[in-house]
Amino acid sequence: DQQVKQNSPSLSVQEGRISILNCDYTNSMFDYFLWYKKYPAEGPTFLISISSIKDKNEDGRFTVFLNKSAKHLSLHIVPSQPGDSAVYFCAASWAGTASKLTFGTGTRLQVTL
Amino acid sequence: NAGVTQTPKFRVLKTGQSMTLLCAQDMNHEYMYWYRQDPGMGLRLIHYSVGEGTTAKGEVPDGYNVSRLKKQNFLLGLESAAPSQTSVYFCASSYSTVHPNIQYFGAGTRLSVL
Q: Tell me: the pLDDT tens digits for B36-80?
A: 999 888 899 999 999 999 999 999 999 999 999 999 999 999 999
8 Å CB contact of A98 and B31: yes
CB atoms under 10 Å from CB of B6, counted, come to 22
DSSP helix/strand/coil, A99: coil
Q: Any residues with CB less than 8 A from the CB of A69 and at least 6 apart, and which? A: none
Residue B98's pLDDT band (boundaries 50, 70, 90)? low
Residue of A nearest to B101 (CA): A99
Residue of B nearest to A95 (CA): B99
Q: Any residues with CB less than 8 A from the CB of B59 and at least 6 apart, and which? A: B44, B45, B46
* Residue-level pLDDT at A95: 78
Average predicted confidence (pLDDT) for chain A = 95
Average pLDDT for residues A55-74, to the nearest whole number? 97
Residue A94's pLDDT band (boundaries 50, 70, 90)? confident
H/E element holding B109? strand B109-113
* Residue-level pLDDT at A98: 73
CB pairs under 8 A between A and B: 66
8 Å CB contact of A45 and B105: yes
Query: Which of B43, B44, B99 is facing A99, going by the closest CB pair?
Result: B99
Residue B97's pLDDT band (boundaries 50, 70, 90)? low
Residue A92, beta-bridge partner list: A33, A102
Tell whether A15 lies on the interface with B, counting CB pairs under 8 A.
Answer: no
Q: Beta-strand (E) ranges in A39-99?
A: 45-51, 56-59, 62-67, 72-77, 86-93
- Integer angstrom CA distances of residue B91 from A4, B6, B29: 20, 7, 13
Burial class (CB within 10 angstroms; exposed 0-12, middle 13-18, buried 19+) of B32: buried
Partner A, chain B 59-88, Cβ-Cβ below 8 Å = none
> How far does CA A7 lie from the centroid of its chain?
12
Tell whether A87 lies on the interface with B, counting CB pairs under 8 A.
Answer: no
